[in-house]
Amino acid sequence: MVKRVVFAVPGSLDTPTGGYAYDRRIIAELRHLGWEVDYLDIGEGFPAPDEATRAAARALLAAIPAGRPIVLDGLALGVLPDIAAELASRHPLVALVHHPLALESGLTTERADALRRSERAALAEVREVVVTSPATAKLVASDYGVPAERITVARPGNDPVPLSAREPNDIPHLLSVGSVVPRKGFDILVSALAMLADIPWRLTIVGDLTRDPSEAAKLQDLISRHRLTGHIETTGAVAHSHLATLYGKADLFVLASRFEGYGMAYAEALSHGLPVIGTTAGAIPDTIPQGAGLLVAPDDIAALAAALRRVIVDTDERRRLSAAALAAARTLPTWQDSAAIFAATLERLA
């Protein structure tokens, strides 16, 4: 029997975010497991599509042969409850929720409420919901009314990382990875580092600068106002091979996210044996177990600065956290593990 599924995703799978990287790898691993996966790009601009994009998405989805299972990425599904209802009458429908849309930072109260209502209505139409962390599973059940038995946790996988001896840099090198959008908290990170002018450090921020040009401009202005231009480099998105090199050369990883549905960059940092400094927001404590990093409350500049100072100045602390990070990395799922869980959800649709 041919196992076939459509993955409907808003935009190119090459988009440099963790969510798209997840979709790309799960599709590849499902194919290795014998699934015929049809990737369907339903258009750019989600979760705020214009009417032309919405109409085009409806037409593309309506053309899928009846009865074929569809996995619809939550970035689009959450704002398409009417289309979800139409599809549910003809297809087994699976929602892939990386994180609830209403929890994106920088939204007005009215916009967040509208997204929450829309996504709740859309999720009511699907047969199964796949999320990327236990924390997101709890949110989808408690805030969106999805029965727990219809929720599957398929955490992102990790690839093995060849490790070599890591020598500390003369000037501690910090690495932060994430698209420059409000949710990633780069403004908080720069403000915290501005409190550490008395100790040496340098920071590389790796992430898409085009997702939110206004936020990228604000970040550069903040770096300039704090006179940190010589200490902080923003590279934009980089190739995976170059990112691996940056992980290998860093002394510690830091990301001040205001929310994460999982936090793939945090998991990558663990795999590279980096001490991790982050926040307690969303699923980050699921990803970074106690002892493998220092987590502070989101938006707490003083606490973040104190954690950074502690790890920057104490090489023994960095070694301890590094060893704990490597131990934690060994407990993370592989992409093959994640795909097997995802495939089991698809099998249930039959």
Contact 96, 73 (CB under 8 A): yes
> DSSP assignment of 85-120, as one string?
HHHHTTS-EEEEESS-GGGSTT--HHHHHHHHHHHH
> DSSP assignment of 207-228, as one string?
S-SSS-HHHHHHHHHHHHHTT-
**Would the pLDDT of 65 be above 80?**
yes
Q: Provide CB contacts within 8 A for 243, sequence distance 6+.
A: 177, 206
**Would the pLDDT of 24 be above 90?**
yes
**Would the pLDDT of 1 be above 70?**
no
What would the mean pLDDT of 137-141 be, rounded to a whole number? 96
Beta bridge partners of 182: none
Give per-residue pLDDT as tens, 106-130. Answer: 999 999 999 999 999 999 999 999 9
Give the tokens for residue 38: 């049809």
pTM for the full model?
Answer: 0.91
Distance from C-alpha of 155 to C-alpha of 333, rounded to nearest angstrom: 7
Give per-residue pLDDT as tens, 77-114. Answer: 999 999 999 999 999 999 999 999 999 999 999 999 99
Give per-residue pLDDT as tens, 265-317. Answer: 999 999 999 999 999 999 999 899 888 899 999 999 999 999 999 999 999 99
Give per-residue pLDDT as tens, 150-204. Answer: 999 999 999 888 876 677 889 999 999 999 999 999 999 999 999 999 999 999 9
* Residue 252, φ and ψ in degrees, nearest 5: -160, 160
Give per-residue pLDDT as tens, 197-233. Answer: 999 999 999 999 999 999 999 999 999 999 999 999 9
